[in-house]
Structure 1
Amino acid sequence: MSHTFSAWDDTIVALATPPGIGAIGIIRLSGENSIAIADALFTGKNLSDQASHTLHVGMLKNDKEELDEVVVSLYKAPKSYTGENIAEISCHGSPFIQQQIIAACIQKGARLAKPGEFTQRAFLNGKMDLTQAEAVADVIAAHSLAAKQTALKQLRGGFSFDLKALRGQLIGFAALIELELDFSQEDVEFADRLQLERLIAQLMVSATQLLHSFRLGNVIKNGVNVAIIGKPNAGKSTLLNALLNEERAIVSDIAGTTRDTIEEVLNINGVLFRLIDTAGIREHATDRIEKLGIERSRHNAEKADIIIHLADLTDNDRSGISWLKPYSEKVIEVYNKYDQVSSANLPANAPGADPALGIYISAKNKEGIETLKSVMYERAIGETIQTEHTIVTNARHFAALQKVLECLNDIKAGMDNNLTGDFLALDIRRCLHYLGEITGQVEIDRDILGTIFGKFCIGK
């Protein structure tokens, strides 16, 4: 792995557990002098003489001031998370004590770590590639089972393995084509063009599959925004409460009770749906506050991944909401209060579901709700989540894979037009660059790394 940065020559310290009062807090040191700094504060034994991967109980003192009774964990380079010497101090969970210990470590020569700096050091010291480093942040931020499983697969190197396999095959052919260029005057051909064509076709299929997985990956990582849109008193707040199975929104027979948007989160089969209960929409509202609420409803509909258009079966006006037409592809038509309408006036599928005809529910009686959840999940995912397969969840990876596919298309076009080896070699090098950019196997700009690791918490 090639990087433009030299080895770190200083020692960093940070709180590795969430700030606030708790049973314990963990303060992490990493760098050549981390164990020596912990040793300078520790009483009872010489930590520098102890073996790696051992725990030691004792008192921390800064000069004569007792700081806390602690457990110090030692991890010596290169067998540590960062590849450097690491000392982790488990102290009592008082924020005052934690700050005292951190201040004492800084006094002894450490400096406060930047966001993500521990994981950045792990990457730069070759302990993980860039996709694995980014997966660390995804594991920490995982808010559902599917998000956790997908992030753990990437952390274990699943995505990296797929990319390295693609890159390794392409490197083999690149080497043969480069060799041909060295013997260009002798008109020899080392690279089998037919085999290269098959490889490019295979790589294009793999890259396309990874790109297509991003839609699912984005849903798993970020959740699904669902806007509940309907006329006043259609039962939007009742539906929100029924989906959540608890009373979150105020329900009233008075039309226009919901004037502002209400947001709640629903977990369906490991995928988070962010439900947005919007203000009731009348085409010709006169109230200024109501107009503002309706404008927010339109904005939420625009940014939503799914729109639940809730209609009231007891309402004689079935004209619908005209401005929803441009968003028809993401609309689920739901008809509420079927229990208040004569069965003779209902289609045969009520209260069942046919997404083409609409879903019939009674939000008040919580009937048809499970059917609606199933349709929401199917609309968002379209399939059962297979987290053992590689799923792209990172926008940076998606952008680089698009470049990879463009390069593969250029290579294929060049071969179809019988381009010479030197031009093919340029396109192959470009393709290798973008593949390597994903995992960090090429030189990565410092600003890009700063952006990636700046999203981490301080102690990671």
Structure 2
Amino acid sequence: MSFSLHEHSDTIVALATPQGVGAIAVIRLSGKEALRLTNKVFKGKDLEKQDSHTIHFGTIRDGDKIIDEVLVSLFVAPKSFTKENVVEISTHGSSYIVNQVIKLLIRNGARPAKPGEFTQRAFLNGQFDLAQAEAVADLIHSDSETSHQAAMHQMRGGFSGEIQKLRAELIHFASMIELELDFGEEDVEFASRDDLRILVEKLLRAVELLIGSFDLGNVIKNGVPTVIAGKPNAGKSTLLNALLNEEKAIVSEIAGTTRDFIEDEINIGGVIFRFIDTAGLRETTDIIESIGVSRTHEKMKTASLILYLFDLTDTDLSEIETDIAKLEDLGVPFVKVANKMDKGNPNLISTLKTNYPDTIFISAGQKENLEALKDRVLELVNLDKFRTGNTIVTNIRHYDSLMKTRDSLLDILQGLEIQITNDFLAMDIRRSLHFLGEITGEITTDDLLENIFRKFCIGK
């Protein structure tokens, strides 16, 4: 599959609603001939004589054969998602009907749309920039309040506005440096080097903030991988079941029941947490269990958060202190969770409250104090920055371009420091502009577009 910047003038068709049987299905066409092609198979009003943003009842016919009664929605260029003529045909949700209608439209001159081709056309026709186009896919796949808000902010141009502002400020100096190159034989300076340094330092601070937001953005978009770790029979599986409110993991008094990790997602405060129940941490001669323990250690290293769970009825203070020291060396944020608070030794509980006041005391079996645990894990995600409306980077491609932009800006500062010639300075400025332009699509290639839009579903 290949996308071309120049070959998008034909009319495309695809199912815009999910595959399968439902009450209705929506078939979408986009292109110059969308109205005419639909008119050829539609029995009702003459669609080519109707206003934009109107809906019309009629039938889709293959010759004299009626395929279905439908509603046809018209969006006349440029007042449509793609800025082309767009028709949406609402049929009954039978897969047979959908296939018959799409095949009929193809026989009459439409072609099947590629994944993401409707959104690609919207981008190519100037409906929005590339970052906004990518946000369309993020919005479709958003499964929490925060991921939805982040996608909406980006789709409405919040992130693009930040990038375009940075780029516009640098373009002025780029043009001044280029002008100096045109007068290379004369001793003239159109761009103050001190002003350029001040601007680059300002841009660098803004880029650093955006780069720094990616960790939070990644959490918002993909969820927080959270490992539940502890000794066998500490109650890890019971805790996972209590958080999920279902019997996801096998619970047994036999130590070492969990040999591999069990994973499921939980929405807490609008954030998706991917909780991972792991094999108990202990020395074992059981080959299968030892593999599970090894995998637990690997999961802990790559987690964003660890719930260190220990049994108040079966763990002494020295064990807890040893485990905490190991977790601190690991460098992954963790929450100390004391289980079976209803049965624990009062002296141990009192000591823990004194020595480790941030410990969360719960009873997984009785589902007691789980809300306090949820509040703590949500607190560690630190959504305050997001909730204040700051721009958050959620896309790895944008992060990569920002990292390259930062390197280019640092090269400009170094060049100013050692007083490099104008042609090299102009080259570094152009590189910075290039990487910023990659984010919004002002600088793009067919390969880049193909890589982005092929990840979209067909029909979007």
Give the TM-score of the pair, scaled to structure 1: 0.93
Residue in 2 aligned with 1:363? 364
Residue in 2 aligned with 1:253? 253
Looking at structure 2, the residues matched to 35 and 448 of structure 1 have their Cα atoms a distance apart, in angstroms, of 31
Structure 2 unmatched runs, 5+: none
Residue in 2 aligned with 1:170? 170
Q: Deviation digits for residues 82-122 of structure 1, max 9, x if unmatched?
A: 12111110111111111111111111111111110110111
SS of aligned partner of 1:184: coil
Alignment of 1:312-391 (within 5 A): 312-316=311-315, 319=319, 327-347=330-350, 350=353, 354-355=357-358, 358-381=359-382, 383=384, 385-386=386-387, 388-391=389-392
Residue in 1 aligned with 2:32? 32
Cα drift, residue 239 of structure 1: 1.4
Q: Is the 8 A contact 1:307 1:330 kept in 2?
A: yes
Letter in 2 for 1:303: T
Cα drift, residue 403 of structure 1: 0.6
Q: Is the 8 A contact 1:142 1:221 kept in 2?
A: yes
Cα drift, residue 351 of structure 1: 10
Q: What RMSD over aligned residues (CA atoms) do the two structures have, in Å?
A: 2.3
Q: Using a 3 Å threshold, how does the CA distance of structure 1 residues 339 and 56 change in structure 2: closer, same or farther?
A: same
Cα drift, residue 312 of structure 1: 1.6
Q: Using a 3 Å threshold, how does the CA distance of structure 1 residues 241 and 4 change in structure 2: closer, same or farther?
A: closer
Looking at structure 1, the residues matched to 113 and 121 of structure 2 have their Cα atoms a distance apart, in angstroms, of 11
Letter in 1 for 2:400: A
The worse-fitting range, judged by mean Cα deviation, of 372-381 and 55-64 is 372-381
Residue in 2 aligned with 1:183? 183
Q: Using a 3 Å threshold, how does the CA distance of structure 1 residues 342 and 281 change in structure 2: closer, same or farther?
A: closer
Q: Deviation digits for residues 128-172 of structure 1, max 9, x if unmatched?
A: 110000000000000100100110111011111111111111111
The worse-fitting range, judged by mean Cα deviation, of 200-209 and 183-192 is 183-192
Structure 1 unmatched runs, 5+: none
The worse-fitting range, judged by mean Cα deviation, of 236-245 and 52-61 is 236-245
Looking at structure 1, the residues matched to 339 and 195 of structure 2 have their Cα atoms a distance apart, in angstroms, of 60
Residue in 1 aligned with 2:150? 150
Alignment of 1:20-59 (within 5 A): 20-59=20-59
Aligned length: 454
Q: Using a 3 Å threshold, how does the CA distance of structure 1 residues 423 and 328 change in structure 2: closer, same or farther?
A: closer
Cα drift, residue 459 of structure 1: 0.6
Residue in 1 aligned with 2:274? 274
Q: Using a 3 Å threshold, how does the CA distance of structure 1 residues 89 and 353 change in structure 2: closer, same or farther?
A: farther
Q: Is the 8 A contact 1:225 1:306 kept in 2?
A: yes
SS of aligned partner of 2:43: coil
Alignment of 1:226-241 (within 5 A): 226-241=226-241
- The alignment status of 1:304 with 2:307, answered yes or no, reads no
Looking at structure 1, the residues matched to 421 and 303 of structure 2 have their Cα atoms a distance apart, in angstroms, of 49
Looking at structure 1, the residues matched to 71 and 11 of structure 2 have their Cα atoms a distance apart, in angstroms, of 20
Alignment of 1:395-434 (within 5 A): 395-434=396-435
Alignment of 1:121-160 (within 5 A): 121-160=121-160
Cα drift, residue 277 of structure 1: 1.2
SS of aligned partner of 2:197: helix
